[in-house]
Structures are given as structure tokens and as C-alpha cells.
Amino acid sequence: MRSAEQAPDAAAVWDIATPMRPPALHGLSMAGFRARTADPLDLRVVPYPAVTVAVDLGDRPLTVEDEGGGRHEGGVVVGLATTGVHGRGHGIECLQLRLSPLMAYAVLGASEDLGRAVVPLRDLWGPEAERTRERLRLAGSWHDRFTLAEAALARRCAEGRRADPEVARAWRLLVAHRGRIRIEHLAAETGWSRKRLWSRFRSQIGLNPKRAAQLVRFDDAAHRLAAGQSAAQVAAESGYADQSHLHRDVRAFAGATPTAVAGAPWLAVDGIAWAAPAYLTGA
């Protein structure tokens, strides 16, 4: 749940905890967030190339509202390219898990529905979702919470499905090329027809290959903008036809201009919470 906090310095809003060592599960990143204020926060979710699971652990509910006005509490799964989503609450405390699409396919299933959806975790895990959330709430430290969360995911992963090797290869190529690769080349690399790759990729990743490539490219562009590169340089180096093309994509994904994204508070926490992006590795 990459968040666009309504505050001048997002990094100053949160106490952020991360695991002492990378998770053993490839394709998983974890971070714990505790708001430093009891004031109400409105967090606008910006699409990211990983599926996010947000588990509310606070005394006051964190409500996630989807673009259709649906309201969800407890544990929520936010899809890859979901837009128009807000998290709202007072004194927020939550555990966020970022899962590569390959990992998400194994531990969550229903990948085609997770491309643009917000789904309660209980809809995917049943009663286990609330039992896991309660164990996380009662844990004595963030370290214990990370350990519990990874163990729950490991069990699911052992029992879950595996993406087709061809789909996994296509995803890794998209990431390696930062979204700047033609779908015909992806199909050739997998040995599948374009039609078959399109169908299988969408059913297991949640987006079609073209949309997934756009999302990975946007994420790369957003971080370049935040690092101080000019829009012209970012457009040229991130594979956009021109600055207008960059502007349209950034507006579509972030609801903001490249200039606004360059100073966006939701990027301020990335270097702290997500130093090793989950989408860079597989399941």
C-alpha cells in the first residue's frame, strides 16, 4: 500500500519497522507502520508492481475504501494496478506485505481478480485470515510479527500453485528491462504465441503483459523523478516516446503531474520500508 500522505514529510509521519534480514521467501517484502500521531490520516494508494496485503493491527480501525465506494477493514489485499483507493484511520498501526505477482499467485490465488481489485483477505483465506491477524496483534514485537507472517505465507506457498515457467520468465524479463520490452519479444523468449502468453499471463499475474510493462515502467520513472532527474531525461531513459507520453502515464497511474510526483510524499518512505522491492524476485 504505497501511500500518498497528506503531510509535508511522509517519512516523519511514521515509525517504520523492517526485518533485520531479508525474508527467506523470494518475492516477499515486509514493513510495519505505526503513525506518530493520533490525528486522522487519509492515505491515497498509488499502483505498484507488487500485490500488497495490509493487515490492520491498531486499536482503532483502518478502513480501506475502493474506487467503487466499498469499505474494507481488518486484512485487505490491494491489486497491482488498483487506483482510486484510500486508507483512512486514526493512530494507524499495520503490517504491510508486498508480494511479487508470482508469490501472490502461490499464496493468494485468484490472480486475475487482483489486477485492479481490492479484496478482503478473508475472501481468499477464509477463517485463517482472522486467526492470523489476531496472532499478529498479540505478538510482542515487530520481529515476532514478521516471523509469524512469513511462516503463514510459507505454509500457503507450499500448498499453493506455481505460475507457469513461461509466465515467470516473462515477468522477470519485464522487470529486468524495466518495462521496456515488446510483447512479441516476450512471446519469442517463452516459445509461446502472443495470444497464449497474453491469456496465461493475465490469468496468473492479474494484468495483461502490456499493462504490466506500463506499470513497471511507471514505477521506474517515479523513482527517477524523485531522485531529481528532469522529466525530459526520465522520458528519454525510461522508454517513453516524449514528455507528453510520460505525463499521460504518470497522470493515469498516480493522478498527478511528473512535477508533483518528483516531490510526492509517498516516495519518501520507500528507501526506509522497501529497500529491496519484492517484485524484483519470484516466488
**What b/e string do you get for 183-199 counting C-beta neighbours within 10 Å, with b at 16 or more?**
beebbeebebeeeebbe
User: Rounded to the nearest 10 degrees, how much is the dihedral formed by the CA atoms of 125, 44, 270, 221?
Assistant: 110
Contact in structure between 34 and 14 (CB atoms under 8 Å)? yes
Q: Are 149 and 86 contained in the same domain?
A: yes
- Residue 279 included in any domain: no
Return the pLDDT at 2: 43
Q: Are 147 and 178 contained in the same domain?
A: no
For residue 30, what is its C-alpha cell? 515486509
- Residue 276 included in any domain: no
User: Rounded to the nearest 10 degrees, how much is the dihedral formed by the CA atoms of 275, 219, 93, 26?
Assistant: -50
Closest CA to 8 of 264, 274, 211, 275: 264
Range of the domain at 42: 3-162
Report the alpha-carbon distance of residue 187 to residue 140 in Å, rounded: 48
Return the pLDDT at 283: 62
Return the pLDDT at 281: 64
User: pTM value?
Assistant: 0.90
Sheet holding 75-78, edge to edge: 14-17, 28-35, 93-99, 51-56, 75-78, 118-120
- Residue 206 included in any domain: yes
- Residue 208 included in any domain: yes
Q: Are 212 and 137 contained in the same domain?
A: no
Return the pLDDT at 278: 75
- The DSSP result for 21-82, as a single string, is S--SSTTEEEEEEEES--SEEEEEE---SSEEEEEE-SSS--EEE-TTS-EE-SEEEE-TT-
Domain count, the chain: 2
For residue 270, what are the contacts with CB-CB under 8 A and spacing of at least 6? 2, 223, 226
Q: Are 174 and 130 contained in the same domain?
A: no
Closest CA to 216 of 92, 106, 80, 72: 80
Contact in structure between 114 and 58 (CB atoms under 8 Å)? no
DSSP-based three-state secondary structure for 141: coil
Report the alpha-carbon distance of residue 216 to residue 243 in Å, rounded: 18
- Residue 217 included in any domain: yes
Q: Are 258 and 219 contained in the same domain?
A: yes
Q: Are 71 and 105 contained in the same domain?
A: yes
Which CATH number is 200's domain given?
1.10.10.60
Return the pLDDT at 10: 61
Q: Are 119 and 244 contained in the same domain?
A: no
Q: Are 46 and 106 contained in the same domain?
A: yes
Report the alpha-carbon distance of residue 96 to residue 1 in Å, rounded: 7
Return the pLDDT at 8: 40
Return the pLDDT at 111: 77
Report the alpha-carbon distance of residue 34 to residue 15 in Å, rounded: 5
Side-chain half-sphere of 69: how many Cα atoms within 13 Å?
A: 0
For residue 69, what are the contacts with CB-CB under 8 A and spacing of at least 6? none
Closest CA to 81 of 117, 123, 53, 43: 117
Averaged over successive runs of 10 residues, the pLDDT of the chain (283 residues) comes to: 42 87 92 90 87 94 89 92 86 94 90 82 94 95 97 94 95 95 94 95 94 95 93 94 95 91 82 77 63
Q: Are 24 and 153 contained in the same domain?
A: yes
